[in-house]
Chains A and B, each alone.
Chain A
Amino acid sequence: MRTRSIKYLYIVLLTGIFASCSNDYLDLDPTNKVPAEAVLSDPNGIRSYMANLYYELPIEDFVYFPRAGFNARGNTGSMSLSQYGLEAIHSEWPNWNQFNNQWWERGYKLNRDINLLEESVAKVEFSDAERAQLEGEIAFLRGYTYFALARRYGGVPLITENQEYTTDWESLRVPRNTEKQTWDFVLQQLDIAIEKLPEDRLSLDETKRRATKWAAAGLKVRAALHAASVAKYWDRAPLSGEAVSANLVGLPAAAASGYYQAVIETSESIMASGKFGLYRPEPGSPEEAAQNYQALFMDPNNALDEVLFMRGYGHAGGPLAHDYDGWNNPSQTGEGFPHTGRTNPVMELIDRYERYDNPGTEAPIVTTTDGQVHEGEFDPSLDYIRYASPEEIFQGKDARFFASIIHSGSLWKGTEIVIQGGVVRPDGSLLSAQGSVEHDGVTYYTYGGENANQYSGYDGTPNKTRTGFLMKKFLDEEARINTWLQSTTDFMDIRYAEVLLSYAEAVVESGQGNTAVATQALNDIRKRAGHTVDIPLTLENVLRERKVELAFENKEYWDLIRRREYHEIFNNYVKTALVPLLDLRGPEPAYIFVRKNVPGAQPNTFPERDYYRGIPGVNNNGLIQNPQH
Chain B
Amino acid sequence: MKVQTPEGEHVDLLTVNIGPSHPATHGALRAFVALDGEIIRAASTEIGYLHRGFEKMVEQGTYQQVLPYTDRLNYCSAILNNIGFSHTVEKMFEVEVPERATTLRVLLSELSRLIDHQVCIAAAAVDLGALTNYWYLFNPREEVYSIWEKLSGARLTNAFTRIGGLYRDTYEGFETDVRDVLPKIEKGLDDAFKLLEHNRIFIDRTRGVCPITAEQAVSWGWTGPCLRATGVDRDLRKDDPYLSYETYDFQTVIGSTGDTYDRLLVRMYEMRESLSICRQALSRLKPGPVNTADARLSLPGHDKTYHDMEALINQFKLVYEGIRAPAGEFYGSIEAANGELGFFIVSDGTGKPWKIKVRPPCFTQFAAYADLVEGSLVADAIACLSSLNIIAGELDR
Does B associate with A?
no
Show the binding face of B for A, using Cβ within 8 Å. Answer: none
